[in-house]
Structure 1
Amino acid sequence: MIKLIASDLDGTLIGHDFRFRPRTLEALHLAADAGIQIVFVTGRPLRWMQPVLDQLGSEWNGENSFVFCSNGAVTYDIGQGKVLATRTMSGTETQALHSELERVFPDSLFIAETLDQVYVQGKYRPHEQEDSTKIVEGPIGCTLDSEAGVVKYLLYREGAAPSALLDQVRDVVGERAAVTRSAPYQPLVELARKGLNKGCVLADFAAEHSIRSDEVLAFGDMPNDLEMLTWAGKGYAMESGLPQLKEQVGRTCPGFDQDGVAQVIEGILAHPSEDLI
């Protein structure tokens, strides 16, 4: 029996307009009302979450729902409206990585995110959900405090091939930080604390709530979802997701435009005791 549903957001539950499709939102409500814990597991920073959470509506059963932001660096309790935990790199660690990556990838855009600020080095166009008052511009080696708790560090290199850039950054960073990407066609690489990924954070959360992996249903569409989808007993790569991810996971559901997540959730609610494919 499924006790927890964990899902990526962009490209999985919400589209380019940053909105849930009605059928998917209804399925999530039905699952939450049935007592299934809901966890949104996203690369998005917490500061981009409120417009998404507002769509859940006042009737949302928030007692059993959480958000893991920045690929698991931040755990946010939706019902209580507060941060429960952070898993960060220190400013000193981030500065050391930045110094090397800046030499290897000059003239790139670099971003270091904390819970409260966004440190930007390079040409940057704020996200439409961005609070521009939190942006600090200038060389990250100078602006970022050594004691800062960095939830995510990003490198964007115009014109680079996304998969090749990911490999190149991993070659520089080695095992000192977690390295992944979540934007399908953008040359954007994301770094976080060593060993951090959506899967390990989900596994720890499930253990705290006495939930086994085979009682977890998970959905995603990009490389940063891999560990989560392979840890969950029933992990589904979206048919509309990255081909490499679909091959690695080996189980797919219909794509975003076909409300694939909703289709699977509807199936488990209709037949809760039956095993899923």
Structure 2
Amino acid sequence: MSTTLGLPGDGEPVKLIASDLDGTVLGHDFRFRPRTVDAIRAAQDRGIHVVFVTGRPMRWLDPLRDQLGHEGVVICSNGAVVYDLAADVVVESSLFPARDAFAIMDEVAARHPGTLFAAETLEGVFVDRGWSRTDRMEVGAPRVGPLRERLPGQSGLVKFLAKLDAADPHDYFRSLTALVAGRLSVTHSVAAAPLVEMGQRGLTKARTLEQYAAERGIGPHQVLAFGDMPNDLEMLTWAAHGFAMADGHPAVVEAVGRTAPPFEEDGVAQVIEALLRRG
């Protein structure tokens, strides 16, 4: 598929590029590829605003600082936190009370014995004993122990997570989605892991990005977006120029219908370069 497919022609120019991080512009080694860095900087030099929209918590954005020198705002935790990287300040947050998570926790544990839980807050992460140290949520000295003992019911949560290492990732996600429906938002950002992420009801990356763009006078027809996983889907279909990575989740690729080349082929860079060539 052509990398220029779906790019704006003589109509409204692109004013904002919104991109997921992992699997889209960051590899498994958590590194940006040099061509991608050059393309992003070239877009910024042309006056195009760039914002990263990630499932990562705000405490785990070192690649943006260290490799890209990015000092702008980042939309974190699947849209729950808008974070000013330079000022180290939370600009906005969409939280939900821990008691809502506790009710769901009991139901999940009854249906899927052995499930472990974690809770992301603005102050850090709380995890059940046994939660894998290799999980990306573990960065930043987690507080270990039963969540009910560590978190008051009125505490505001950014994200609530459940995982069952022995489960089939697809079946586990589908089961928890049905169980939680209507109470919290449910998504996942690691295709091969039986890890389910829950946030405030109605929360998506797209919801926060839409508000962020509107505050700057930018509409969806002026947005170019990139992503690869189900937690990116709403964002990619909201933006007029949304691109799923060709090596991304098959359901996302099919739903978006417009692809950028795979990460290993500098797919995001190729699309941005094509955009800049068209002026």
Determine the C-alpha separation between the residues in 2 that align with 1:66 and 1:24.
19
**Comparing 102-111 with 228-237, which one deviates more in the overlay?**
102-111
Question: Following TM superposition, by how much is the alpha carbon of 1:247 offset from its aligned partner in structure 2, in angstroms?
Answer: 0.3
Q: Report the counterpart of residue 139 of structure 2 in structure 1.
A: 130
CA distance in 1, matches of 2:126, 2:88: 25
Say if 2:108 is the partner of 1:101. yes
Choose from 186, 192, 199 the match for 2:206. 199
Q: In the alignment, what sits opposite 2:3?
A: none
Q: Verify: 1:27 aligned to 2:39, yes or no.
A: yes
CA contact (8 A) 1:114 1:152 kept: yes
Q: Which residue of 1 aligns with 2:159?
A: 152
Superposition deviation, residue 233 in structure 1: 0.5
Report the Cα distance in structure 2 between the residues aligned to 1:222 and 1:271, rounded to whole angstroms.
Answer: 28
Please report how far the alpha carbon of residue 166 of structure 1 lies from its aligned counterpart in structure 2 after TM superposition: 1.1
Query: Does residue 227 of structure 2 align to residue 220 of structure 1?
Result: yes
Aligned to 2:59, the other structure's residue is in SS state helix
1:102 Cα shift?
2.0
Q: Give the letter for the 2:239 counterpart.
A: A
Counting only pairs closer than 5 Å after superposition, residues 57-136 of structure 1 correspond to structure 2 as 57=69, 60=70, 62=71, 65-127=72-134, 130-132=139-141, 135-136=142-143
Query: Sequence identity of aligned pairs in percent?
Result: 47
Q: CA deviation at 1:126?
A: 2.6
Secondary structure in 2 aligned to 1:84? strand
3-state SS of 1:48 partner: coil
Please state whether the residue corresponding to 2:113 is helix, strand or coil.
Answer: coil
Which residue of the other structure, out of 269, 275, 278, is the alignment partner of 1:271? 278
In terms of mean alpha carbon deviation, does 200-209 or 139-148 score higher?
139-148
| Contact residue 3 and residue 211 of structure 1 kept, 8 A | yes
Q: Distance in 2 between matches of 1:269 and 1:80?
A: 30
Conserved? CA contact 1:107–1:122, under 8 Å? no
Aligned length: 265
Query: What is the aligned-residue RMSD (CA, Å)?
Result: 1.5
Q: Deviations over 1:63-114 (max 9, x none)?
A: xx32111100100123433210111111221222222222222212211110
Look up the match of 2:48.
36
Note if contact 1:89-1:192 (Cα within 8 Å) is conserved in structure 2.
Answer: yes
Distance 1:137 1:8, change over 3 A: same
Aligned letter for 1:235? G
Query: Aligned equivalents of 2:145 and 2:113: distance in 1?
Result: 15
Query: Relative to structure 2, which stretch is displaced further, 243-252 or 28-37?
Result: 28-37
TM-score by length of 2: 0.91
Q: Which residue of 1 aligns with 2:179?
A: 172
Q: Name the stretch that deviates more: 26-35 or 187-196.
A: 26-35
SS in structure 2 of the partner of residue 158 of structure 1:
coil
Match of 2:197 in 1: 190
Once the two structures are superposed, the pairs formed by residues 10-21 of structure 1 within 5 Å of their partners are 10-21=22-33
- 1:275 maps to none
Aligned partner of 1:161: which letter? D
Is the Cα–Cα contact under 8 Å of residues 77 and 158 in structure 2 kept in the other structure?
A: yes
CA displacement at 1:161 relative to structure 2: 1.6
Aligned letter for 2:30? F
What residue is the counterpart of 2:241 in the other structure? 234
Q: Higher mean Cα deviation, 208-217 or 153-162?
A: 153-162
Separation in 2, partners of 1:51, 1:262? 17
